[in-house]
Structure 1
């Protein structure tokens, strides 16, 4: 800068350097910006309450189902807060309090007001989740921190809380940026146009500009990425870049508010900027003289401890996932892949074994209720009635790369590899000639369909559980448009787990719906990065093959039961037509073909909801009984029963 003309040095001095705010200035600016978010949000609610009424976006009669498993005190508190009169009273009080905080002053009463806004926000948020888009959470965080700072009166405590806000601000930009970086549309710069063309956040005129000037659109998208991923650079060299970075971030939020209709983003996220400005100013500056920075090393130690704990949890889960345990078998396929399987032999040598094929990013434990039901039937002996479908054995397995199964194949993955593995599993795990019924869910249904014709006469039938259709990405607008997000979501999940974020993963409700004995292994598999890496690999090949699909489905010479989830076909009628095509491919003289739509079921609920799983098990038993009856009727009178020996394993059900 010394060699620059005086005018240039003056301009750079205005653009570069820290934003010196005193402690009281930072607290005051943060709480006023957060109060402005609350003021606007509560006024919006009082002016437009239709979304909380019956059939509204935030209808509490529907939203409260998400808290059905919580404790009674919390449910009662939320029910009280969600009552129309209580909600209006709370919002009216929030308006008055927020307006008071907009006034000048620095008394301790402001701390109580901040805490009231933060606490009421936490109480109201579960009843009005849709429409906040993160702004209420950000403002609530600031209000709790500034409230505690006001009430403490200790400069050291206030500095620690301001550091907390600043670190949260840095974290919000960093996480957002690095997650975006995983998406191909952000890396190639097309994301901006994609966002602007959506119905919720789009803007028609600006979208047209992105199409007319794609290079400029890519520059803006990459600029957003750089801003978020590199946000902490404003702390470098004594806050030299604090002004341009904070100005860019504030401009970004203003643009979001104007273009995408996220008006509260402007004040909610910029409410954290004063704390960033305060903490990024060098301690030698008079404005921050005496600032206590001990929060930073404490945060570093906590982060290091969290990293160690996250690694330990991930390692423990990995050991649990890869330890197949007693009672399992192993098959090495033609590709060198090592598959782990588990099952029960069933009532008799001539009865079919149900081979369950799990879906994408799923586990064999998803079939826990099915395994338990058929194990109990088999355990009942002849009383279960093999002819009634009660005596069927079952087998579950992890596809290569999932759980304890290892993928050794060196070549590029294709779905044919999984089909070959399934055929080799049947040949290697079951006695020669033992009848089988393939039961595939989602992508597992497509793998089973492709394997069916290769199993010959030993195949008794195929059960498709809300199965994928190879032409669904071309024929279903819903499936086709959503495909672009599936790969990104799988990669993001996998990268997050490899980074140790699995320790923060909450247990999804479907895990708690499974039989008690399989919940822990199901959660361990769900939180293991290997499963998501395998799913990403499978999805990459699936999308390519499905996009390239042409022509009708291959005719099948086997019985079939096609089960559809009502929610799936209601949301996407094209899926019902494609499921019917799967059934039609099996229709020929002497074959049993049935189609069923399970009312009230969604895609995963067919497996994980006990009531729905029991209903599907009933359909499978009926299908087996009818298939056995037809097979017995068509068999030669003097035909000998299959002479296959017992299964090479006899294992108790996973759900005991």
Structure 2
């Protein structure tokens, strides 16, 4: 939730005052201290050795004596400027804790004042009206829901915010007693407790506040410097991770590498700023330098710990300036004080241990952290290997077939009870598994005599891509044709059932299959013209590509252990879930999807706009939510059906009410209905031997 102007300006004023106090805590001379200390030690050594001079040794005089008079006159100002701009920011343990907790208190004070000023958002019709918002927590435990109901009562919410405002204001007062620890813990705990209440409007500043206030609160309660140092190192490492990870993730996206990200953000409705956007278009080179400068700052923020903290001052100052600019331009006022509240911890931990301000600092947390990180990496590697093995092994009844391209396809087959009936071959969509058809295949196998074949395209599950040529969709079409010819007995016709991209692959395979093709069942199918005709589809292409790139790189370094199970996984048949999740967290799965998506984008963009005639029956099932969001999809699905019109062909179109693109398969109710309609359609097509054209339009209830 963007900060109000008054609250933001107040936060900036208080922040400036606190930062001034923070800087005042540094020793005079700043980064010049190590050199001056060495000169002082040199003077003392000379005195101990007996220099024969009665005049006391002065390190400042020694400095002048060692400097050439002519050159020194020019170098002194440069040295002083360099000394002011570089070097560590020496700050004591107590001062770092004090500055951090005060900056964090400004964040919570601003947040509570904003919520108190925008009470309409918690009333009927507001974004955070609790009787509406509580539905999000339907899977929480009864105890959790009861606590949330209590906290979310109007009077309770107002009381908590009023108390937070008072405590936050009190935290800005001078002092360093242990009572301040209670204040920090209270603020952190209430921020966490109120987070579900203000689900729409919270942001990263709240999470950082919880982190800093919990750490500073525990540090205040502890009398052991070692414990305090461990907590401060924890915050400092989190600060480094927040910049470092953010920067390298941005590098995976095209917009940050080609420097269009700044202009893109500035033109958005939520965080945009029209004058700044116009400046980025007027001065693209400056915008490029700024964008790449932000990337460099985030990617290389940990250099504050190199060379005795020599780069701490410019890096911390740059980060603070970055957040201040975001606050002014994007309305992220709370981010200014939230993220800068971690900077004192970075300054404290990056100063050299030889500096008096950090004398006795306990850095053992680094060794402990390194051991824990190595252990976590080992566990992540073992989990990744286990999941890869599970994804590759297939089912006990799985078989393999080698196609003309050398690809090895894993497939499962049930021949059905009646060998005179067609065999249904299920073709998956992009980044999907054959197990997604579980409910449908179960319905077909149980309630009909049709045969069923499911398979994984090359690169998915246990199927391996051996082709050495560049990938095109025609390769997957050829693999599908080879699969049909290789596993479906001669004399039996084939029904291709394709979901999403699978529908387009099935349509393209129709010509090669010829008379063996009985029907094509399109389940919310892709259309080759969708990227040119659908604005929504076209806009999503870059995000999809960036998302897949991020997933592939993250999973390749073992981060799959951090992936949570998606909600739709719980909707699949129970015996499929573990195997599907193993594929979902495997880098091969997303690499295959990325490869296919690149071909989809290239070929769909080049589509000429007219579908060729397909000589088969067709059932076109559309998900209601798909066509509600993008009516152009319904027109394209109608075109797919029209391509099958011909003498003796049955063509039926159905819109399945309430279903979306995924729940059409994963939702038991919707998928069972899809299975029923497939059986009904095929039975009708089989029972009508006479040539006719049957076009049925209906909305599935």
Within the candidate set 308, 319, 326, 1:256 is matched to 326
Within the candidate set 273, 278, 283, 1:208 is matched to 278
Residue 471 of structure 1 corresponds to 529
Q: Contact (CA 8 Å) 1:460, 1:627: kept in 2 or not?
A: no
Within the candidate set 287, 290, 311, 1:220 is matched to 290
Q: CA deviation at 1:587?
A: 2.1
CA distance in structure 2 between the partners assigned to 1:82 and 1:342 by the alignment: 51
Q: CA deviation at 1:373?
A: 1.7
Residue 154 of structure 1 corresponds to 224
Residue 83 of structure 1 corresponds to 153
Residue 526 of structure 1 corresponds to 584
Within 5 Å, give how 1:284-363 maps onto structure 2.
284-363=354-433
Residue 638 of structure 1 corresponds to none
Q: Contact (CA 8 Å) 1:437, 1:459: kept in 2 or not?
A: yes
CA distance in structure 1 between the partners assigned to 2:539 and 2:595 by the alignment: 20
Report which stretch shifted further, 222-231 or 346-355: 346-355
Could you tell me which runs of 5 or more consecutive residues in structure 2 were left unpaired when the two chains were aligned: 1-31, 33-66, 693-701
Report the 3-state secondary structure (helix = DSSP H, G, I; strand = E; otherwise coil) of the residue aligned with 2:196: helix
Q: CA deviation at 1:71?
A: 1.8
Residue 486 of structure 2 corresponds to 428
Q: CA deviation at 1:294?
A: 0.8
CA distance in structure 2 between the partners assigned to 1:342 and 1:59 by the alignment: 49
Q: CA deviation at 1:568?
A: 1.4
Residue 243 of structure 1 corresponds to 313
What's the CA shift string for 1:471-497, capped at 9, x where partnerless?
111111111111111000011011111
Q: CA deviation at 1:634?
A: 4.8
In structure 2, the CA distance between the partners of 1:470 and 1:74, relative to structure 1 (3 Å rule), is same
Q: CA deviation at 1:460?
A: 1.8
Within the candidate set 386, 403, 409, 2:467 is matched to 409
Q: CA deviation at 1:61?
A: 4.0
Within the candidate set 136, 141, 147, 2:211 is matched to 141
What's the CA shift string for 1:136-171, capped at 9, x where partnerless?
111111111111111122211111000000000011
In structure 2, the CA distance between the partners of 1:494 and 1:341, relative to structure 1 (3 Å rule), is same
Q: Contact (CA 8 Å) 1:566, 1:598: kept in 2 or not?
A: yes
Q: CA deviation at 1:128?
A: 2.1
Within the candidate set 182, 185, 190, 1:120 is matched to 190
Residue 512 of structure 1 corresponds to 570
Within the candidate set 512, 520, 536, 1:454 is matched to 512
Report the 3-state secondary structure (helix = DSSP H, G, I; strand = E; otherwise coil) of the residue aligned with 2:234: helix
Could you tell me which runs of 5 or more consecutive residues in structure 1 were left unpaired when the two chains were aligned: 378-389, 636-656
What's the CA shift string for 1:607-654, capped at 9, x where partnerless?
111112122222222222222223x3459xxxxxxxxxxxxxxxxxxx
Residue 45 of structure 2 corresponds to none
In structure 2, the CA distance between the partners of 1:575 and 1:60, relative to structure 1 (3 Å rule), is farther
* Greater relative contact order structure (CA < 8 Å, 6+ sep): 1
Q: CA deviation at 1:131?
A: 2.3
What's the CA shift string for 1:65-105, capped at 9, x where partnerless?
33322322122222322333322222222222212212221
Q: Contact (CA 8 Å) 1:361, 1:531: kept in 2 or not?
A: yes
Residue 633 of structure 2 corresponds to 575
Residue 299 of structure 2 corresponds to 229
Residue 68 of structure 1 corresponds to 138
Residue 239 of structure 2 corresponds to 169
Residue 596 of structure 2 corresponds to 538
CA distance in structure 1 between the partners assigned to 2:101 and 2:517 by the alignment: 69
Residue 495 of structure 1 corresponds to 553
Report the 3-state secondary structure (helix = DSSP H, G, I; strand = E; otherwise coil) of the residue aligned with 1:127: coil
Within the candidate set 22, 35, 45, 2:105 is matched to 35
Report which stretch shifted further, 235-244 or 613-622: 613-622
CA distance in structure 2 between the partners assigned to 1:272 and 1:135 by the alignment: 11
Within 5 Å, give how 1:360-399 maps onto structure 2.
360-377=430-447, 390-399=448-457
In structure 2, the CA distance between the partners of 1:465 and 1:80, relative to structure 1 (3 Å rule), is farther
CA distance in structure 2 between the partners assigned to 1:440 and 1:61 by the alignment: 41
Structure-2-length-normalised TM-score = 0.86
What's the CA shift string for 1:532-557, capped at 9, x where partnerless?
01111111111111111122112211
CA distance in structure 2 between the partners assigned to 1:315 and 1:498 by the alignment: 11
CA distance in structure 2 between the partners assigned to 1:55 and 1:420 by the alignment: 54
CA distance in structure 2 between the partners assigned to 1:596 and 1:194 by the alignment: 39
Within the candidate set 528, 537, 544, 1:486 is matched to 544
Within 5 Å, give how 1:603-622 maps onto structure 2.
603-622=661-680
Q: CA deviation at 1:62?
A: 4.4
CA distance in structure 1 between the partners assigned to 2:516 and 2:410 by the alignment: 22
Report the 3-state secondary structure (helix = DSSP H, G, I; strand = E; otherwise coil) of the residue aligned with 1:423: helix
What's the CA shift string for 1:426-475, capped at 9, x where partnerless?
11121123222111111111111211232212222111111111111111
Structure-1-length-normalised TM-score = 0.92
CA distance in structure 2 between the partners assigned to 1:603 and 1:570 by the alignment: 11
Within 5 Å, give how 1:578-593 maps onto structure 2.
578-593=636-651
In structure 2, the CA distance between the partners of 1:62 and 1:528, relative to structure 1 (3 Å rule), is farther
Q: Contact (CA 8 Å) 2:443, 2:676: kept in 1 or not?
A: no
Residue 180 of structure 2 corresponds to 110
CA distance in structure 2 between the partners assigned to 1:74 and 1:600 by the alignment: 30
Q: Contact (CA 8 Å) 1:354, 1:437: kept in 2 or not?
A: yes
In structure 2, the CA distance between the partners of 1:585 and 1:127, relative to structure 1 (3 Å rule), is farther
Report the 3-state secondary structure (helix = DSSP H, G, I; strand = E; otherwise coil) of the residue aligned with 1:588: coil
Q: CA deviation at 1:55?
A: 4.4
Q: Contact (CA 8 Å) 2:327, 2:334: kept in 1 or not?
A: yes
Residue 275 of structure 1 corresponds to 345
Report which stretch shifted further, 156-165 or 455-464: 455-464
CA distance in structure 2 between the partners assigned to 1:32 and 1:439 by the alignment: 62
Within the candidate set 3, 7, 17, 2:87 is matched to 17
Report the 3-state secondary structure (helix = DSSP H, G, I; strand = E; otherwise coil) of the residue aligned with 2:195: helix
Report the 3-state secondary structure (helix = DSSP H, G, I; strand = E; otherwise coil) of the residue aligned with 2:264: helix
RMSD: 1.7
In structure 2, the CA distance between the partners of 1:460 and 1:62, relative to structure 1 (3 Å rule), is farther
Report the 3-state secondary structure (helix = DSSP H, G, I; strand = E; otherwise coil) of the residue aligned with 1:339: strand
Residue 560 of structure 1 corresponds to 618
CA distance in structure 2 between the partners assigned to 1:55 and 1:402 by the alignment: 45
Q: CA deviation at 1:324?
A: 1.8
CA distance in structure 1 between the partners assigned to 2:597 and 2:129 by the alignment: 36
Within 5 Å, give how 1:89-108 maps onto structure 2.
89-108=159-178
CA distance in structure 1 between the partners assigned to 2:205 and 2:651 by the alignment: 53
Report the 3-state secondary structure (helix = DSSP H, G, I; strand = E; otherwise coil) of the residue aligned with 2:337: helix
